Chains A and B, each alone.
Chain A
Amino acid sequence: MATKKKKKATAVASSLANDDIGEARRLELYTTQLECRGVEQKAHDLFLQNLIKGTSHLGIGQEAIAAGFAVAMQPTDYTFCTYRGHNHTLARGASMTGVLGELMGRQCGLLGGKGGSMHLTSVEHGAMGSYAIIGAHLPIAMGAAWSAQYRGTDQVSICFFGDGTTNIGAFHEALNMSQIWKLPVVFVCENNLYMEYTPISEVTAVEHPAADRASAYGMERIIVDGNDADEIYRTAQAAFARARAGDGPSLIEAMTYRHSGHSRADPATYRPAGELEAWKKRDPIPNYRQRLLEFGIAESDIVSIENDVTRRIDEAVETAKASPPPAEEALMRQVWADGGSAWRN
């Protein structure tokens, strides 16, 4: 996770002290976004080197959402994300070696090579899975919230999904039931404007696929700039507070854009000319860097963070590359809780 930096005395120290987020959190937010971006870029490169097989769904450009929520939540909270979940899993604290190793199908992978890119999970960090069937994890996230409510803890369940998910049945079932049971679950729609290869507007009856449906389930209409980690952070805090207070679920629509195609197989030629360039100007990371400087954090401190992240990512890549493929016995293990797969005597 991010190394916490001591607050340095600067000319704008007073405004930092008055800020609701604070330098420490901001550095955490920046570091987390950097880690996500760096790992995703490595994943892109490793795919081109044929060290990552199959397919990958990269979240380049959408780091602010994963980072903003992760920094705002408690370690005991539960997160559920989609197959585009590398960022979300890393942001909860899962190791880079584990993530990269899993993408490359190695023993050091988070899942021992059994699940792959689309199913990254780290239960010890509260990352309760990445889900490849659209919409399936919304009711599952709701179930984790139910469990927290039943057990009387203040845990919250946070569920990340894309704009396309808002049109599938499970979305509606989960929202409805979460509301009637007043469950501590936060539904976060990352609207990156495209449902796979199709503009979301062409397949949705309303303009904002999540926010414009909130009222149907008795929830507030919340739209936020998904590329501003601070805005995300604040929105997240408010939703968590509501949930922990027993006031029930929230539905948040975060506007963002993905820099790459839907998956590695997609060159994204369906995007209109200029759209990608316009959004790249709103790239969350350079913008956040700029904000840090405006808040008085020294360039050298920022560079130091960046170098540290780069070094850790490079180490993780080498470690993962050196890890062997899973042993043969991994094939038949862990179908059942006893570790085996026997269906007969």
Chain B
Amino acid sequence: MNVVMPQLGETVAEGTVSVWHKTVGESIAENELLFEVSTDKVEVEVPAPASGVITEIRVSVGETVDVGTILAVIDGPGEGTGERKPDTVAAPAAAASASATTASQYDDIRLSPAVRKLIGEHGIDPGVIAGTGVKGRITKADVLAHVSGGVPSTGIVTAGNRDARGQPLSPVVRRLLAEHGLDPARIPGTGKDGRIKRDDVLGFVNGGKPAAARSPGTGVPAGGQVISLSRIRKLTGDHMVRSKATSPHVLQAVEVDFARVERARTAHGAAWKSDRGFALTYLPFIAWSVCKAIGDFPHINASIVGDTLVLHDRVNLGIAVDLGFEGLMVPVAKDAQALDIAGLAVTIRDLSVRARDGKLSPDDLTEGTYTLSNSGPFGTLITAPIINQPQVAILSSDGVRKKPVVIESEDGDAIGIRPVGVLAQSFDHRAFDGAYSAAFLNRLREIIEATDWSAELG
């Protein structure tokens, strides 16, 4: 049986043997540790696929070979197909750029002159660029972000009509790519001329590539229940890892007195609920206040593109929605700055319902500029959220509960009981410093505590 270089990640194309635990002539049992492989991300111990005697070792320590290369041969019973077919790995974007593509090949995709110039200069296939413009159009900033290695916007890629290899992307493939936030360059195509087919995307999403079996000796206790990570969870996980790797996160928090909000909720809540069919929660008030505070602190609502901080005119609020503990989606309330509280409440409600019903469109998930994450219903104290790239900050609202607070007055201090909650912002320290963020949070608190909410509710 042939022992081959395993594929240790979807984008991993090669690996380096770092340790051989056996030598030629030694016998080995199935699942016994045989060798170790290192890639730029991870080190893995690889067990033997079968029992037998090592008759050949073809690749030595320190040698880097492609996935699928035969590393060793075991002679013994249980001859199976140890030789896995090397996947037709997608040519990385770098290879495409090396072939100096010209912009005129992509006349069927709407590209502005500036974009055309850039992709021509850099030899990029626009199909691999995440478009953050209107209806997923590729903007100049998108091209620059791609060139500088920025991560895709809000995790969702709106692919053009063709992939990096120039192969067509069918409607269902494009939809699936958008839904799952995938770069087609990562997906091997098994269709004609390497076209990505629907099943290729579905297979990829479901983690179809068999990864090397993890060595049992990694300190995880045996037994217990094994749960496959769902595709949404894996996607979310990927985003989180990338985000932390990209932005230096700083956490800052303020404690907010929600008394006025609570009064407004009490006064208007019953009528609201009977008119609209759903409850008036804290979140629309927080969202409204955030938009107002951003008006005074515009750097909060921005993205880092190369060496620039791009301030966004619109406040497109991402609302993190939990899907029954099965994963996270962040639909976007577009132009939240133009909505009043009622409008925000209705929009947030609609997005949440549609997210849970699986009825969001790709447009609902793009162009976010700031995100709100709400753990309030669970009564948590504080959360340190992870920034939703390519934004530069994210706010978490947690539980609001009655607490004793000191109320200052001319007649002296007294203890009162107020509904209090912590708002915590994680921000990207590349964009601004703690003082700016603190000033924003202070302003946010002021707005929530001092606004005449009944007037705003009308």
In-complex A–B contact (CB below 8 Å): no
